Each structure stands twice: as structure tokens, then as C-alpha cells.
Chains A and B, each alone.
Chain A
Amino acid sequence: MAFSPAARQDLEKQLGQWAASLDEHQLQWASGYLAGMASARAGALTEHSRGVASDVATPTVTIWYGSETGNGRGVAERLAADAATRGFSVELASTADVKPRAIAKLDTLLLVMSTHGEGDPPEDAEALHKLVLSERAPRLEKLKFAVFALGDSSYPDFCQTGQEFDRRLAALGATRLMARVDVDVDFEPAEDAWRFELLETLSTELKPVDTAPAPHLQLIRGAAASAESRFDRRRPFQAEVLGISPLTVAPSTSPVHHVELLVEDSGLAWLPGDSLGLWPTNDPQLVEEIIEVTGIDSGYRVQRGEETLPAGEWLSRRLELTQLARPFLDAWAALSDSAELRELLVDREAFSGWVATRQVIDVLRDYPAKVEAEQLIESMRGIAPRLYSIASSPLTGDDEIHLTVKRVGGLDQQSRLRAGVASWQLTESVKPGETVPVYVETNPRFRLPDDPDAPVIMIGPGTGVAPFRAFVQHRQAAGAKGPDWLFFGARNRRTDFLYQIEWQRFLKEGALNRISVAFSRDQSEKIYVQDRLREQGRDVYDWLERGAHVYVCGDGQAMAADVHQALAEVITAHGDKTEDQATDYLESMKQAKRYQKDVY
């Protein structure tokens, strides 16, 4: 395309206006980002081609991330941006988009890696993880590396995957640039410190040429998708709550609510499949209870890290009061000098069951200890945002983000609050007109097919149906022709059929072509979505053969596993294949991005 002077002036003007809205950090980041786009367009899409970089003698830093819910990706992107501004030539890639064996060719690898499932690698890192930990792993003498491990200390296998990579890379002969860092869900401070220290080390290890020629950041496809909005996890947008309405009726055993947020003028951009991150606020009743039990003074100012705030403020906005994390229990076991707690902390099995039904307050009550406000606040974990699948399509054009929120816990027998902080806030306490701090967590690994004619099978029991409401709205608005088939499950049709009348309307309008429902408690024998998949096996297989994209979303690892099993059986039964062939069939669907999961 010819680039006329007029057009250039025009572009300059646009860029100028836009650049004016950015701070320095963002501007530098963006310059690298744009350069990257340029080279990416130039076709530099394989992991070894250096694109523009190759003709400048700048040392290349490779940043790979394994990330399922976006935290690690964010960390990797921030690192890439800073590295680029320091003059390094950077290759940033999701581990889903690299050839595992390419690791053998690298000089410098900065690996950002989260842990999912029960100590399992995030889905996009499965292939790399498999290779690196296997016998067939290449020797890596020339590789220098550093691992940033993300995890959640309320899980027994904290940062398992990052640790495995760290140990194994060393074992394969690679040298650590820096000791591994394990971070919990409140990882911001640790991340910044790590990034700074790491880049200092890199600068001494391999001298970057200073910023001329233009810093260069190469993007491998899929990465840095979330560079649009001014708002992110660190700078959330205050979204106004428009309305909250129940989606279930008595005597439902698990209340679910529909939540509508206004994101007008936020510039928040999202696609179906993305989640919304919410920074929750602890309920005053619970904060009150903690203050009463520990007898600390809520006005008393306490320093934690860099910051000093009144104790009450720490408790209501900054600290995790509901989930029980290991470090807190460690600290509290010491403070309360409780043998029972100490035993629990070493009993892996008992631990997970125990924390699942208790909260910080229960520990404070049952294992009393005389503590200073400082000790209490120091012992606790910083609060982390909660994610909710976005249940509305941007194409509806009403600047609203809808969520489908299931309340966790509630009031106990003594009507004390023992509920999930975010789900309670969203379903019971926040009032229309109030605002909540949110950001979009993009999920490039849960996307509608590019081909509007491709069939889509959506499997979303319970709140797992949320993103599929956005999917169907989106395909309808975009006039996509491909058929849609929804599998939904819940306990009882009468009380728990989330969005029932909307699905009925979609069916009428042809936006949804087929719906299969499994209500587990409506008949003597329990029926689940995976049973429906088997029942409808013949058709399911036909759809797969016709190129259907399969999406699985929902609460609970078990469901995803059962659904996977059912799909495998359907393929063996109706595609007369062996079990191994079925496994390969699904594996290749994954590779082709035709089989995507978002489970929590």
C-alpha cells in the first residue's frame, strides 16, 4: 500500500492525540509493542526467526509464559516491555505457541509459569512441561534462565509447576540467572522487585546496546492481546453496578445471581471467553467480627510493606479474610502455639479438606492468641481479585458487562457471615449505583472460531454457562451461520435452569440450534452433562467430524475430566477408533484450537 505524505500527516495526527493519553511507561511500552507488531506483520512468526532484530546486534532475551488465567501473561508482558525499553531484543511468547524443542536453541529464557489443577501445569504449557521433564529432554548447557512461579498458597502443591521447571532446567545443564521466585496470588510487590533485579542482572550479564537503534520487541502470535485498555489488574476501572437479580428461585440449593455492570467510557474491550477481574471488599460484619475476636483497634495505623493504613482499612480492602492460605496458618500456628494446627500443616490430605470449610475468622476464634495489630496484619495474605466469566457480548453495544455469580457459603447457624468475599459482595451486599473495581482478563485460549460457519458445541453446567450466553449473543449479532449446541446442567429444572427463557428465545430465533440439559436431581438416577454427551454421541461425533469447536467451562476439575472422558468414549464408539486414537483425536483438536477449556 502506498504511504502518501497526506496519509502520513494524518497518521501522525492520530498517533499524537493517542500518545498524549499515555504516561511515559506506557509510551515506551507502546513503542516496543508497535515495533513488534510491525515485525510480526512482516511474518516473523516462528520462534527462531529474529525478524527485524536479526540485523541489529542486540542480545535477544526470550520470555515464555505458561498462563491460564492471565496473571502470568501480565507478568511476562510487563517484563517484556521493560526489557525492550532497556534495549534488549525481546521475544515474548505463550508456551502454547512455541515448539517445545526450540528451547534447545535459546541462549536466555525467562520463564513465567503458573500452576493449575492440583499441582498441574497450565494447559498452554503442557507440551513444554512434558518434554522438559521427560527422558527425551535436550541438554541445555548453553541456556541461561530464570523462573517466576505463580501459585496460590491455599493449594497444597504451591507453585509446583514453576518449581519443576526450575529444578529440571538446572538438571539439564542450564544456568540460573537468578534464584526462582514463588509468588502467591497477591504477587504485585514481589513481581516488581523481581523484574527490577532480573533486568539489572541481565544488563550486566549480556550488555544491551542502549536505546538506539529503536528498542525491539518481537511478539509471537497470541501474546500481548491485552494491550488496549487503560485499565488492568493494577489500575482497575470503577464500574457502576446497574442491577443484581437472582437466576434461581427457592428451594434452590445453590443461589446464582445475574449481575450487570456499566463500563461506559472505560475503553474496556473484551471478547466472549474473557473474564472480568474484580477486587473485592470484605464485608463490614466480618471485619467487625475479626476486630472483636482479636481485640485490635481498627483505627490504629499499621505498616505493611511500603504502606501504612488504619488496621480497619487493611482488613476491609487489602487482606484476605476468607480463604485460608498456608503462610497465614504457619504464622498463626506459631502465634497461638497450637499443636493441632502444626499437625494439620504437615498432613497434606487433611489440610485441603480442612481449609475448604473454614475461614480466617474460624482460626482466630478456635486457636486464640494474644496478638498486636502488626502481627495480625503481617500474618495475613494480601487480597487477590476474583475472576468471573463475562456473560455478555460487546456486540450488544450497551456498554454493559454481565456476570453470572454463584454465592459461595452464606450465613452460618449463628447467622455469622461465612461466605465467599466476592460472590457475597456481588450477590448480596453491593447495591445498584455503587461501583466495584474491575478489569478485563483476556483469555485468548477460549475463543469462538474465526470461521462464522463452524459449528460450536458448548458444554457449561452451572455457572459454566456464563461465557456461552456471550458466545450465542455474539454469534447472533455477528450473523454467524454456524450451528450452536449447548449442553447445560444443574440440579432441578424448576429452580436452577440459568437463563432458561433466554435459551428458549435463542432457540426460537435460531441463534441456538440445539440444547441438551441434564438436571441431576429431577429423577431417581443422577444425570449429568457427560451422560447427555454419551446419549447424543452419534450426533456429537457428526458435529466433530463437521469441524465443530468444543468448549468446556465450569466449576470443578471433576466435571472437565468427566466431559473429556465422555468425549473420548463418543469418539471411540461412533468413530470406531481405539482409545489411543480417540486421545490423539482430541489432542489434535486441542492443537487446532477446536477443543478449549476454561475451568475453575
Chain B
Amino acid sequence: MSDLNVEKIKSESRALRGTLHDSLADPTTGAIAPGDTVVSKFHGIYQQDDRDARTERRDARLEPLYQFMLRVRIPGGRVTRAQWQALDRLADKYANGTLRLTSRQAIQFHGISRESLRDLVRGIDAVGMDSLAACGDVNRNVMCHVQPELGGLHADTLDWAARLSAHLTPATAAWREIWIDGEKVGLEGGDEAGEDEPIYGRAYLPRKFKVGIAVPPSNDIDVFSQDLGFIAIEDDCNDERDHNHHDKRRLAGFNVVAGGGMGCSHGEPDTFPLLGRVIGFIEPEQMLELAEAVVTAQRDFGDRSNRKHARFKYTLDDHGTDWLLEQIRQRSEIELQPARPFEFTHSGDAFGWTERADGHLQCTVFVENGRIGPRQRAGLMELIERHLEDFRVTPNQNLVLTGIEPSSREAVGDLLAEFDLEGGGRRSVLRKHSMACVALPTCGLAMAEAERYLPDLITRIEELAAQHEIEDQPINIRMSGCPNGCSRPYLGEIGLVGRAPGRYNLYLGAAFNGERLNRLVMDNVDEAAILDAVDGWFRRYSAERDAGETFGNFSVRSGLVAAVVHGSEVNAPASDRP
């Protein structure tokens, strides 16, 4: 769709209406009008086609098997019992029978026919969920650490996440009009054309915008990959880390991280992942105002002439931190204070059981690549209907089961085992720390398999880990089907990015806690070459690592790969490397 003039379509969309109403009714095709595929994204709906079926259908002179992906926005990832029951039913009725937990704590349906879209959207609306702004050039699902009950700090942060999400949600009524009421809306120039988007304006943002809140020591949301990140900071008066006194912990404010992002394109050195930079500290009450200031600065300064250079990370990289601080001052009168110290020990999720303040238990379970098929769905339905308070979708495609009576711990364990959820706890740490994006067959941008292939590759890598006796060492392995990096592969201690069917770029050297990007070490290689390289690295790691040294840090210290300082080095050819 790159041939579409997205800026024009956005500003002429009459606050995200476009011609969707007519598109949905065209009986000669399963698709919607090209312009509307841009507009629909803002509604959380992507037009896709089943890529496995492409050739057969082309030969049969049939159009591609157009189908849609719908992304339910879930700020902070909390899904109530009623909501889950609805999602479960809708997946069968209107989608391909699966639910897909995403790397931003949202949930996706795949394989929806155009005719089923309205019913599906009505279904989620009925349980108080929506998909507005789950995609598109607006603020996306606000990420937040998923276990607020573990302490006042977390409770507050989740609360702020919700407020921030509400504050940055587009004002347009188009979503409800088109999907719920299904009315045909007024023509060009009608009132809705003038309907004002106080924060976004007529043309919305130059590009998607992502916000997340991390609570040290966990960097589960990969705060440095967000356009705008917040690191929760505790009151100094109390440096208690002991969870038995969690209620003493108070939220002092947030360190602000700006300008992170993963996406880049093969062979285009001007595109690269970047880590966000810590620009200072704010009080909690300043959060919404600050966020709005940053978002509007990006709205006004972001590069609308080139989508590949439009993300906030480039705006900031081009203009610099002082410029941003100045913008914030002008737009909000906020003076950032010096950043406070913080420490992240890990990215990814902390699996297993934890006890809550009120004595209830929670369990973080591994969902391979976030894909929940019919079988797992059955198990989760039993769990939520019999034992749980609600579900939390983690920032890494996994699930937290909450509010479990200590007495039912065993029952829950048995159900997990019975329905092969998290392999009944038998999954290796390697696997649990792996993450793949969706890629084929639904993603239109995929160049290689990811979700459907990583599990097999991990099995091979598990064998190598076992040979070298490092199978107990968690290592972040992240695979994406293309350089857009939806699984945040440039933050994987081992990263794999699709080039062509069966071929990947291989990356090494990110920090286990998400504070350092990795670097391209092998270009366009197949499985044999990948395994061969990994085998060599594991041999050395097993022999030469220091006590407690993570694989990523080892790979840099031992000189297997040179540390990346600026994102532009991530894909740099060997020749011009330090």
C-alpha cells in the first residue's frame, strides 16, 4: 500500500470515516477500497490476505483471499472474565478460531471475513472493549507492567496507564458510527468533517506512536523501544525492596524515556532501530500534560513527506534532546527534573507463581508466540470460569492468571498441564524467553516465517544448549519475519530477522535487561548456518562466562560482537564497524 498517499487519505478521511461504509457493501470483492485500508487501521482493523492461498487463487483467476485482522486494545493488558468469555466465543464465530496475544498486551483476531467485521466489533463492544486506535498513526495500546497487586507502586502505574491511554485516544465518533450503529455518515463537509481532534488534528500523527510504563527492576515492556517511555520511580524515603512491606512503597514519579523504536528496512542505512534516551524526571501529575506535549511536538515536527523517516525516534535523533525539552517547556510549561537512578535486572516476563498482598496467588504462564488455539482456549475457559479473577496479557505475548486461591493452586497446575498450557511448566527457559512475530500467512509484510517456524528452531537450539550444559540459562531469542521488528528482535540477545523464505539476518549482543541493542553478525543465512554459529557461541559461553554473566553481555565482553552505541550501527556492514 506504499503507493497510497497516506497523508492525503488521512486528512480527507472526515475524522476516520473514509468510504468504509460503501466499501463494506461491495459484493464483487472481499476487499475494501484501497484508501479505506488506511482508514480502517485507525479502527484497529487491517486488511490482509491468506498468503498460503495466493498462488492457487491467482491461477484460478480469483482475487486473493481477503480477510481481516482485528486488534483489541487493552491498556495494561487486563481482561475480565466476561470479556474473555466473549473473546473466546467470537474467535470461533467470526475469526479463525484462535486468539493472538501480542507483544503490546493486546489481543488479535485473524481470518475475519469482511462480512463478519461488524458482528465481531459489536461483540467486543458489548463487553466494554474496543479496537479504536489499536493501529494507525495515533498513540497505540499503552503498555504497563502487568502485576499491580504486587505493590502500591504497580497499582498507581496501572492507573496512570489507563488515564494516559484515555487522554490520547482519538475523539472521533467514526468507530461507533461505522461498526456499531452501521449508519451511513454525512458527506464531505458534513459536521463530522469539522469534528475536532484536540490532540491529533485533521491529519493525525505522521506515524504510529507508542507509549509504555515500566516498573523496575522489570523491563518487561522494553521501555527503551517505546516512542515515549516512563520508568516508575519509588519514593526515596523508602528503599524497601521486600515485598512483605510493599504497601509502604510509593510512586514518586517517572523518569521519561524518549525516541525509541525498532523498525527499519533492509538495505536502507537511513532507517534503523534506536533506543530511547532518558531525558529527565517528572511528577506523576505531570504525566498527561508531558505526553501531550511530546505527541503534539511529533505531530508538528515529524516528517510527513517520508513514512520511513516519520517515527518520533528520527524526529528526536534529528533535532536533539534540547529541542525536545524546549518543545515540552513551550507546550506544557513542564521543567523536567534530573533523572533519578533506577535499575533493570531483566526484560521479558518473570514466569511462575507469585503471592499477592491479599494472599491470593498469580501465575505467569508461557503461551508460545502468544497463539491460543482451540485446545488452549478450552483450558483457559475452564481456568477463568473456575479459578481466576481475570487474565493479564503480558508485554511478551504471555498470560498472567490472577486471583487464585492458594487452595486451588494444584487444580490450576493440573489444568495447565492437561491443556498443554505452558507445557505444564515443562517448557525450557530458552523457549520461555523466545518471542516471534506473527508473519506468515497473515502478515502482508512478512518476508519469512516467524511464529510458525521459531518453535522448531528453538528445539534445535535447546539441543545445543543441552550439549553445552547451559540449558538453565535464560537467553532472549527473538525472531521477526521482516525488519519491522514486531517481536523487538534488535533487543534479543540473539535476534533473527527474515530476509526471504528460509533465510534470516542473525543478530547478537543485546543486553538481557533491554538496555543495549544487538548487532548484525551474519547476513541472509539459512538454518544450518544459524545453528552452526549458535553452537560456536554456546561453546565459548559455556566455557568462558563469568558467574551470573548473561549471554548478551558475555558476547560483548568476549569480543564475539562489538557493542552497539547508536542504533545506526545495528545493520552496518562489517567494514565500517568500530
Q: Chain A residues in contact with chain B, CB under 8 A?
A: 245-249, 258, 493-495, 497-504, 507, 515, 517, 519, 522
Contact = CB atoms under 8 A, between A and B. Distances in A.
Interface stretch (B10-18, B27-35, B206-214, B295-303): B27-35
Interface of B: 27-30, 53, 56-63, 65, 113, 115
Contact of A249 (B28, B56, B113, B115): B56
Given A494-B65, A522-B115, A245 B60 contact: yes
B60 A246 contact: yes
A44 B65 CA distance: 59
30 contacts: A245-B59, A245-B60, A246-B59, A246-B60, A247-B60, A247-B61, A247-B62, A248-B60, A249-B53, A249-B57, A249-B60, A249-B62, A493-B27, A494-B30, A494-B62, A494-B65, A497-B62, A498-B61, A500-B29, A500-B62, A500-B63, A501-B58, A501-B61, A501-B62, A504-B63, A507-B28, A517-B27, A517-B28, A519-B27, A522-B115
Nearest to A515: B28
A500 B59 CA distance: 11
Given A249-B53, A249-B56, A500 B61 contact: yes
Contacts of B58: 501
Contacts of B63: 497, 500-501, 504
Nearest to A246: B60
A551 B113 CA distance: 33
Nearest to B26: A517
Given A247-B61, A495-B62, 17 more contacts: A245-B59, A245-B60, A246-B60, A247-B62, A249-B62, A258-B61, A494-B65, A494-B113, A497-B63, A500-B28, A500-B61, A501-B63, A502-B61, A503-B28, A504-B28, A504-B63, A519-B27
B112 to A, nearest CB: 13
A523 to B, nearest CB: 8
A510 to B, nearest CB: 15
A494 B62 CA distance: 8
Contacts of B59: 245-246
Given A245-B59, A249-B60, A249-B62, A504 B53 contact: no
Contacts, number: 45
Nearest to B57: A249
Contacts of A245: 59-60
A421 B57 CA distance: 27
Contacts of B65: 494
B441 to A, nearest CB: 15
A247 B59 CA distance: 8
B interface: dominant SS: loop
Nearest to A522: B115
Contacts of A499: 61
A245 B60 CA distance: 7
Contacts of B113: 494
Contacts of B62: 247, 249, 494-495, 497, 500-501
B106 to A, nearest CB: 28
Q: Which 9 A-B pairs have the closest CB atoms?
A: A500-B62, A246-B60, A501-B61, A517-B27, A499-B61, A249-B60, A500-B63, A245-B59, A247-B60
A258 B29 CA distance: 21
B50 to A, nearest CB: 10
Contacts of A498: 61
Contacts of B30: 493-494
A246 B53 CA distance: 14
B225 to A, nearest CB: 38
Contacts of B56: 249
A249 B113 CA distance: 17
Contacts of B29: 500, 504
A503 to B, nearest CB: 7
A249 B61 CA distance: 10
A397 to B, nearest CB: 21
A412 B29 CA distance: 34
B107 to A, nearest CB: 26
Interface centre among A493, A498, A519 (most CB of B within 10 A): A493
A179 B58 CA distance: 57
A246 B58 CA distance: 10
A493 B26 CA distance: 12
A245 B63 CA distance: 15
A536 to B, nearest CB: 12
A148 to B, nearest CB: 43
A40 B28 CA distance: 47
A23 to B, nearest CB: 43
Contacts of A500: 28-29, 61-63
Contacts of B57: 249
Nearest to A488: B28
Contacts of A248: 60
Contacts of A493: 27, 30
A544 B7 CA distance: 44
B54 to A, nearest CB: 11
A519 B30 CA distance: 12
Contacts of B61: 247, 258, 498-502
Interface centre among A248, A501, A504, A517 (most CB of B within 10 A): A501
B483 to A, nearest CB: 31
B268 to A, nearest CB: 32
Interface centre among B28, B53, B63 (most CB of A within 10 A): B28
A497 B28 CA distance: 9
A584 B29 CA distance: 38
A493 B65 CA distance: 10
Contacts of B115: 522
A248 B53 CA distance: 12
A441 B555 CA distance: 78
B476 to A, nearest CB: 40
A519 B60 CA distance: 18
A524 to B, nearest CB: 11
Contacts of A502: 61
A391 to B, nearest CB: 12
A478 B28 CA distance: 26
Contacts of A515: 28
Nearest to A495: B62
B562 to A, nearest CB: 51
Contacts of A495: 62
A501 B66 CA distance: 13
Nearest to B65: A494
Contacts of B53: 249
A74 to B, nearest CB: 34
Contacts of A504: 28-29, 63
B352 to A, nearest CB: 44
A499 B58 CA distance: 10
Nearest to A519: B27
Nearest to B53: A249
Nearest to B64: A501
Nearest to A257: B60
A248 to B, nearest CB: 7
A495 B113 CA distance: 13
B63 to A, nearest CB: 5
A57 to B, nearest CB: 62
A51 B553 CA distance: 105
Contacts of A494: 30, 62, 65, 113
Interface centre among A245, A249, A503, A515 (most CB of B within 10 A): A249
B94 to A, nearest CB: 15
Contacts of A497: 62-63
B357 to A, nearest CB: 52
Nearest to B67: A494
A517 B61 CA distance: 16
B440 to A, nearest CB: 19
